[in-house]
Amino acid sequence: SPPKMVDSAVRSRVIGAAVAISAICCVCYTLPVWTNDGLHTSILLQAFDIASPSAISCLINPCADNSPVSTAVLPTQTAGPLPTHPMTFHAIDTANTALGELQKVEDQHAKNEVKFQDAKDALRLVQKKYKRQLKLSRVGLWKTVGDLESKLDHLKSRVVRAKGEMMARDNFLSARVSALENALARAKVALRRQLSGVRVRMAVVSHMTGQPGHNGLPGIDGRTGLVGFTGPRGENGPP
């Protein structure tokens, strides 16, 4: 929890009131006491009250037979109660006012403490909520990442399978093309051989001489030709 927030002005007023009360008490304690012989202050009475035994022994005559010296008798007169100084009432009022303000500050601090605790609880709830949402979103994100990875693996397998099929087809086509090229080469060689044989036979036949053959049948007239162009017009006849 945060430190108590006490106003410095209130604290200074409380300290001032306490100092004032202490000063008034000291003044009241050192007020003069009237006796028959004159004015003696209470400071002298305090001196006699707090005097040590060695100081009291100084009042004894050393030449006498241990007979104490007659001490001075202070005849006193009973005095009535002294009136209260006005500053005392003022100091008391100031102290009461300061205490009241201090109490108000403490009450306000308590209220602020309650509000701070409520805000802290609300912040804790918000943190828990966001942590839960963040966890859910993280789980969903990793699930999506897993789905994407599985899809990528499936696509990779399909690509590898398609690549293998394409390579197999390429190999098959390459083999078919090679076989076709070999067949064409063999066909060319065979045709060349046949052509060479035909040429040899033609050369042999061209140099062979045999018996004359029979006369052939008479020929057939050919087809009638086309009609020619019209000739020039002749001169007019006699009238």
Residues in Cβ contact with 31 at an 8 Å cutoff, skipping those fewer than 6 apart: 42, 82
Give the pLDDT of residue 139: 86
Give the pLDDT of residue 46: 41
* pLDDT per residue of the chain (239 residues) written in tens, 0 to 9: 444 444 555 566 656 666 556 555 544 444 444 333 334 444 344 444 444 444 444 444 444 445 444 444 444 555 555 666 777 778 888 888 888 888 888 889 888 999 999 998 998 888 888 888 888 888 888 889 999 999 999 999 999 999 999 999 999 999 999 999 999 999 999 999 999 999 999 988 888 887 877 888 888 888 888 888 888 888 888 87
Q: Rounded CA gap, 203 and 205, in Å?
A: 6
Give the pLDDT of residue 79: 52
Q: Rounded CA gap, 210 and 206, in Å?
A: 11
Extents of the domains making up the chain: 8-112
Beta strand residue intervals within the chain, DSSP E: 33-34, 39-40
Give the pLDDT of residue 102: 86
Q: Which two tokens stand for residue 59?
A: 């009042």
Q: Rounded CA gap, 126 and 132, in Å?
A: 10
The model's pTM is 0.29
